[in-house]
Structure 1
């Protein structure tokens, strides 16, 4: 086993169009390639409490529709929330983020994320309007020669 000799921290600005699952797999893969990552661990972190990260199927777009609809049923905008100062979609967004993830750890092998055949990495926008979401990538591992 090789000792880690490469570490980097990179920030991404991901523009969302409102409630959606924005796939960022290729964007993150490009960063790994550009930074010379080989084998290690990638931590992906989103710096928000009303958007989240998930690894999910990327073959059938109906999966994303169903997931977003299910999250809406679990945390409806018309529930009697106390926190309403930022609008009716804010507190449901916090609930949805609590049910998903703000940080993911993804193994990297041969410079590529070790994802399943039909898996993609997504930013999940829980608010109804556009946002720019900050995603931080931290890699620790070995570098390509």
Structure 2
């Protein structure tokens, strides 16, 4: 068994984003997995961001943000009230889009479906600095 881990640091900016992490994961696995089978675990150590597996580039990422606006409006209904208006909803986001994901790795390669990508979902406009821990166990 081998274990390797790294921290990916990202700047998501001042807008709500869905950031594709697939390439970063593949680069990490090329070094860490070395052709082995195992698991890739991703973890976001933030209270206002999550990880989603979805199709990107076809509008699904924008659809996800639109759906989150319907489910979690950025208004003053939230009891958690520091930061930008509606920021309380950002603290509810990880209950719907979890801050973790575990994916199979076969022969050192991610086993994603044809259109699947690993994405960081960040609706918190107040904190553009994000980290994602990537860990390979195999």
TM more than 0.5: yes
Contact kept? 1:89, 1:128, Cα under 8 Å = no
| Equivalent position SS for 2:102 | strand
CA deviation vs aligned residue, 1:108-129 (integer Å, no higher than 9, x gap): 0011111000000000111125
| Moved segments of 4+, more than 3 Å | none
Query: TM-score scaled by structure 1?
Result: 0.87
Offset of residue 86 of structure 1 = 2.3
Bigger radius of gyration, 1 or 2? Answer: 1
Indicate the residue corresponding to 1:134 in structure 2. Answer: 131
Q: Out of 2, 5, 18, which is 1:9 matched to?
A: 5
Distance 1:45 1:66 in 2: 23
Partner of 1:56: 54
Q: Which runs of 5+ in 1 are unaligned?
A: none
> Following the alignment from structure 2 to structure 1, what is the Cα–Cα distance between the partners of residues 128 and 57?
25
Whole-angstrom distance in 2 between the partners of 1:124 and 1:93: 10
User: Matched residues in 2 for 1:30 and 1:89: separation?
Assistant: 36
**Count of paired positions:** 136
* Structure 2: unaligned runs, 5 residues or longer: none
* Structure-2-length-normalised TM-score: 0.91
Query: Which structure features the higher share of strand residues?
Result: 1
Q: Quote the RMSD (CA, aligned, Å).
A: 1.4
Of residues 73, 81, 94, the one that matches 1:76 is 73
